Amino acid sequence: MSRTVLICDDALFMRMMVADILRQAGFEVVGEAETGVQAVEKYRSLRPDLVTMDIVMPDMGGIDAVREIVSQDPSARVLMCSAMGQQALVVEAIKAGARDFIVKPFQPSRVIEAVNRVLAA
């Protein structure tokens, strides 16, 4: 059975790009969220194998969303999507419980590597 993924990003553009990369690699994108609040809600209802999480989102940012998700499910696997220059925020996200990160602009090979890494650990 293919692994399920929830994609959280406020930009449809980014969601589409991540979804395309993951689908091509055989993952099943089961949901998308545009805000941190949605991410938490959808995680609860979908229980995906993996969550990709943008750091900067409206209505509860990615870091708070990670904290919330991990507090509800300590085994949650969250992959942060960051931009260059967000080092401190990524560190914070990892402290909050994110398992790994990828940096924009996304290269498909790096994304898949990171996803496999998170799912394997």
Partner 1 sequence: MKPSTACLQPDRYGELYRVETSEHLAIIDASLLKLEQQDTRYDLGDCIATIFRSAHTIKGMAAAMGFRPAENVAHAMESLLEAVRAETVQVSPHVLDLLFDGSAMLASCITENQHDLHQSKSEAIRELQRKIDVAIAGTIDVATPGTIDIAAAGTIKVATALTSDESVSKPTHQVVVRLTEDCPLKGVRAILVLARIEQLGSVLTLEPSSDAMQQNEFDGVFTILINSGAGEAHLEQAILAAGDVKSVAVSKPATAGRTYDRKESIRHVRIDVRRLDVMLDLVSELAITRDRLVDMIAAQDGKEIGRDLGRVSLDASRLVTALQVEIAQARMVPVASVFDRYPRLVRDIARDLGKEVHFALEGREIEIDRSLLDAIGDPILHLLRNALDHGLEEAASRIAACKPAAGRLVLRARRDRSAIVIEVEDDGRGIDRAKVAERARARGIISDQSIPDDSRLLDILSHPGFSTANSVGALSGRGVGVDVVASSVNTMGGTFALRTTPGAGSVFTLRLPASIAMMRALLVQVDDETYALPAEKVVEIAADDDSSIRAARSSGSIELRGELIHVRSLRHEFGLSDHEGENHYAIVEVGGQRLALAVDSISAHKDIVVKNLDTVRGSARWFSGATILGDGKPALIVDPRSLI
Assigned token pair, 12: 């449809």
Nearest partner of 51 among 110, 91, 100, judged by Cα: 100
Among 7, 8, 19, 21, binds partner 1 (CB under 8 A): 21
Measured CA to CA, the distance from residue 103 to residue 30 in angstroms comes to 22
Question: Strand 4-8's sheet: what is its strand order?
Answer: 28-33, 4-8, 50-54, 78-82, 100-103
Q: Does 82 bind partner 1 (CB under 8 A)?
A: yes
Minimum distance from residue 90 beta carbon to partner 1 (Å)? 5
x/- mask, partner 1, residues 31-50, rule CB under 8 A, reads xx---------x--xxxxx-
Q: Does 72 bind partner 1 (CB under 8 A)?
A: no
Single-letter amino acid code for the residue at 56: V
Query: What are the residues binding partner 1 (CB under 8 A)?
Result: 1, 3-4, 10-14, 16-17, 21, 28, 30-32, 42, 45-49, 56-58, 70, 74-75, 82-92, 94-95, 97, 99-101, 103-108, 113-114, 117, 119-121
